[in-house]
Structure 1
Amino acid sequence: MTERVVPPDARRRRRPTKQGVVLSEELIVETALRLIEEHGAEALSVRRLGRALGADPSSLYRYFRRTDDLMLAVADELIGRTLRAWRPTGDWRADLRDLGLSMHAGALAHPRAATLSAYRVTGRVHEIQAVETILGVLRDGGFPDAEAVRIYHTFVDQTLAFGALDSASVALPDQAREAEAEVWRTTYGRLPATTHPHVAATAPHLLESMRHSSYPAALDLLLEAAEARLAAVRGRTGG
């Protein structure tokens, strides 16, 4: 896609496409997300999207001026899917843990899209809602504003980074994933204590741990640190 400005009142297609569907931003984003998971980044082309939608590729400019705008919309939709399924309880630590795990699971459900979008700032409705929501959880939990922002930043970056890392692993061909898992067993699991005493001593735990993502453990460590900081703040202020 290239730069092209279409007046807002001309963006919605009023006639069905060749396949009998009426175009909308939501339908284009959903189709783009599906194509990304099937074909990778190259799926974000006007020609491929138009073919999948049964529409003239030029009609997509009614909704997105360029490919990057569509990628931002896809990234924002991933955020929206997590938020729509998440229900806060009022317990800041439990709520952040549940939200983080939900974000991570959402990334793994769409690994190629998550890998492409984890580092993007969309400035769109769902991202704005997420920023407001997470800051609200922290401020309502008693964190001063500066601490709330610090923990928000760390929480989001940690979650997105693990989402991208683990998504990249999930997106590997099965044979490559199995080969990497085998390295832990056949290489690290057999290192002798005479040359690698620490690996040898911890090998059973290492082999078990490396089979899974470390995100839940990292998230718990972050939340424990945040809780300790909140206790310290309350101790200083007498709250």
Structure 2
Amino acid sequence: MTEGRVAAGPRRRRRPTKQGVVLSEELIVETALRLMREHGAGALTARRLGAALGADPSALYRYFRGTDDLALAVADELIGRSFAGWRPAGDWRADLRDLGRRMYEGYLAHPQAAALATYRVTGRRHEARAIEAILGVLLGAGFPGREAVRFYHLFVDQALSHAAMDAASAALPREAREAERRVWEETYSGLPAATHPNMAAMAGLLRAEMRNSCYPHALEVFLDAAAACLAGVRRG
């Protein structure tokens, strides 16, 4: 990340569009999120954005170098929304749990955009603030530098990988989601014990478990591992 990229401010169009609005980076990003929510990630094109904004598609290049640059801005906006209003409570486990859930739920609220956002490094202000906040929680808890960075990496990648997988599932057509549900509830639950004894024995538990995301449990496993590491550091 470069300092100029993080600190870059909004640029504005001097004349209103055909719809009477003044273009801004914030308006374009908000419109991009709406288009992806309605039409999927494939809607992120200059032509579609221009039509939705009532502006010539070439006007978008005054604000973004291209659609990839816009995708980074969308990713950074999702991070900003996830962290909006967050304040550390002073309990590192509670703070990380809150941040993890915010990140996960923030991406899941925009599943189509999450497909483009979860694996990107934006180099923008919201991401920089998020990195600073998470490292602050870990360092404040007493993790040494190397462990703080390692657990930062684990924490973020865990939240984003679960968000990406669950967002991809949520973005499927309803028929596809229903078909997957039936696989667990009918196909796998109906396998005979003679050929699949373990699945037959666990059929009821599998049906209940596979309805939901395992991220909340995975987050607690991460926190337990981090606490064990911190306890070892303190004993040492």
Q: TM-score range by the shorter chain?
A: over 0.9
Residue 163 of structure 2 corresponds to residue 163 of structure 1:
yes
Aligned to 1:70: 70
Does structure 1 conserve the Cα–Cα contact (< 8 Å) formed by 2:10 and 2:24?
no
Pairing of 1:143-162 with structure 2 (within 5 A): 143-162=143-162
Show CA shifts across 1:76-103 (max 9, x none). 0000001114332111111111111111
Aligned to 1:25: 25
Residue 59 of structure 2 corresponds to residue 59 of structure 1:
yes
Does structure 2 conserve the Cα–Cα contact (< 8 Å) formed by 1:33 and 1:113?
yes
Q: 1:64 to 1:92 in 2, by over 3 A?
A: same
Secondary structure of the structure 2 residue equivalent to 1:50: helix
Amino acid at match of 2:84: R
Report deviation, 1:18: 1.1
Does structure 2 conserve the Cα–Cα contact (< 8 Å) formed by 1:46 and 1:58?
yes
Aligned to 1:46: 46
Aligned to 1:212: 212
Does structure 1 conserve the Cα–Cα contact (< 8 Å) formed by 2:31 and 2:49?
yes
Unaligned 5+ runs, structure 2: 1-7
User: What TM-score results when the alignment is normalised by the length of structure 1?
Assistant: 0.91
Pairing of 1:161-200 with structure 2 (within 5 A): 161-200=161-200
Does structure 2 conserve the Cα–Cα contact (< 8 Å) formed by 1:13 and 1:22?
yes
CA–CA distance in structure 1, aligned partners of residues 113 and 103 of structure 2: 13
Does structure 2 conserve the Cα–Cα contact (< 8 Å) formed by 1:75 and 1:122?
yes
CA–CA distance in structure 1, aligned partners of residues 164 and 145 of structure 2: 28
Aligned to 1:5: none
Aligned to 1:227: 227
Amino acid at match of 1:96: L
Residue 13 of structure 2 corresponds to residue 13 of structure 1:
yes
Residue 130 of structure 2 corresponds to residue 122 of structure 1:
no
Amino acid at match of 1:206: L
Secondary structure of the structure 2 residue equivalent to 1:194: coil
Aligned to 2:4: none
Does structure 2 conserve the Cα–Cα contact (< 8 Å) formed by 1:104 and 1:163?
yes
Aligned to 1:4: none
Amino acid at match of 1:86: W
User: What TM-score results when the alignment is normalised by the length of structure 2?
Assistant: 0.93
Does structure 1 conserve the Cα–Cα contact (< 8 Å) formed by 2:41 and 2:115?
no
CA–CA distance in structure 2, aligned partners of residues 193 and 74 of structure 1: 49
Show CA shifts across 1:38-90 (max 9, x none). 22232222111111111122211111111111000000000000111433211
Aligned to 1:96: 96
Q: 1:12 to 1:91 in 2, by over 3 A?
A: same
Does structure 1 conserve the Cα–Cα contact (< 8 Å) formed by 2:108 and 2:166?
yes
Report deviation, 1:9: 10
Moved more, 204-213 or 85-94: 85-94
Amino acid at match of 1:218: A
Secondary structure of the structure 1 residue equivalent to 2:14: coil
Report deviation, 1:33: 1.1
What do you get for the CA RMSD once the two structures are aligned?
A: 1.6
Residue 113 of structure 2 corresponds to residue 113 of structure 1:
yes
Report deviation, 1:205: 1.3
Show CA shifts across 1:139-162 (max 9, x none). 001111111111110110111111
Report deviation, 1:11: 4.1
Q: 1:168 to 1:9 in 2, by over 3 A?
A: closer
Secondary structure of the structure 1 residue equivalent to 2:78: helix
Secondary structure of the structure 2 residue equivalent to 1:187: helix
CA–CA distance in structure 2, aligned partners of residues 118 and 183 of structure 1: 28
Amino acid at match of 1:130: A
Q: Identity over the aligned pairs, expressed in percent?
A: 68
